[in-house]
Amino acid sequence: MLLFKSSYYSLFLLQSVADFYIFVFVEIIMRPRKLNYFNLFSENMKSYAVFSMANLIFSRGILCSGHIVIALNRLTAFYLPLRQERIWSSWTICLSVISLWMLCIVVSTPVIISHHNDAHFFLTQCGVLYMSGGPLGEYNSYQGAVVSVVTVAVCSACYTCSYRKTKQRKYAMVEQRLLLCAIASAVPFCIEMVRSILVLLSAKLKNDLFKTMTSLWFYEMGAIVSSSVWLQLIINKNVRDLILNRTSANQGSRTHSDVILRKMITNQSNVAPATRRISTVSVPVREKL
């Protein structure tokens, strides 16, 4: 089962850490604030608004960066299969993913520090507590649209090239299943790209479209962070069954070969005594006259 220690599963493990962070951020920080559970939140929570806006900006880059690295990993798996594990060593995996995480944080931190006074909450008549950030909110809209477009573009290019490679040559079923899982995990980002563009276009108007797209973010993030986990669990079971079936088939063919070899040895051992008896029979020698 060395497959489950490969570079793909190492990347998936790091991505699961990012997914868990997004899940905690959405369900513990953002959703209770928006719905104002037990009236624990108010418009005067300035520090909490800055903290929420900062995590909202960071979360998009952290979530998307992992899927970009996974797409590049699948591309090298089909185009450079013999060098795959050397390219994606443990050091390369950790360095690439963590560097992208830090890049997202470092780039956005100066903007957050410069406009932290603009982040605030406002309570609507229906009791929903919305978050606004002024220039910081505009930066969040632009950043979300750009990150989503880049993620969809890179993943589409990598997965399209990988899929064409599977049609040209005959690859292992395991790699094809992992590619299918990676593609299915990246599909929700197409919805996120459309949503981010609509939010960007309606950000200044603050109309019903903006409120609808903002509310959709909560459900969409939950689907993104949970779908990849469930898809990977299904693929893992399928891959494990495939490996076990292949192993049992190899053992069965090996057992059949052993039976044939034993029969050959038994036949040779039965023939050997008869050969000895024939060789011990004396052949009369013609005497000289």
**120-123 and 129-132 as β-strands: parallel, antiparallel, unpaired?**
antiparallel
Task: Give Cβ neighbours of residue 70 (< 8 Å, ≥ 6 apart).
Answer: 8, 11, 12, 15, 182, 185
Q: Is-above-0.85 flag for pTM? A: no
Strand segments (E) across 197-264? none
- For the four alpha carbons of 11, 235, 217 and 26, in that order, the dihedral sign comes to negative
Least confident of 55-64, 265-274, 275-284: 275-284
Is the pLDDT assigned to residue 281 strictly greater than 50? no
Cβ neighbourhood burial of 190 (10 Å; 0-12, 13-18, 19+): middle
Q: How confident is the model at residue 71 (pLDDT cuts 50, 70, 90)?
A: very high
pLDDT at 41 over 80: yes
Spell out the domains of the chain, with CATH numbers in brackets.
2-232 (1.20.1070.10)
How distant is the alpha carbon of residue 76 from its chain centre?
15
Tokens of 204: 């200044």
From 113-127, 189-203, 260-274, the region with the lowest mean pLDDT? 260-274
| Percent of the chain's residues with pLDDT above 90 | 29
**Spatial distance between the Cα atoms of 266 and 273, rounded to a whole number of angstroms:** 12
Q: Return the pLDDT at 94.
A: 92
pLDDT beyond 80 at 206 = no
What average pLDDT does range 52-78 have in this prediction?
A: 91
What's the pLDDT at 187? 86
Q: Is the pLDDT of residue 215 over 90?
A: no
Q: Percentages helix, strand, coil for the chain, rounded to the nearest 5?
A: 85, 5, 15
Q: What is the mean pLDDT of residues 180-192?
A: 86
User: pLDDT tens-digit profile of 124-170?
Assistant: 777 788 888 889 989 999 999 999 999 999 999 999 998 888 776 66
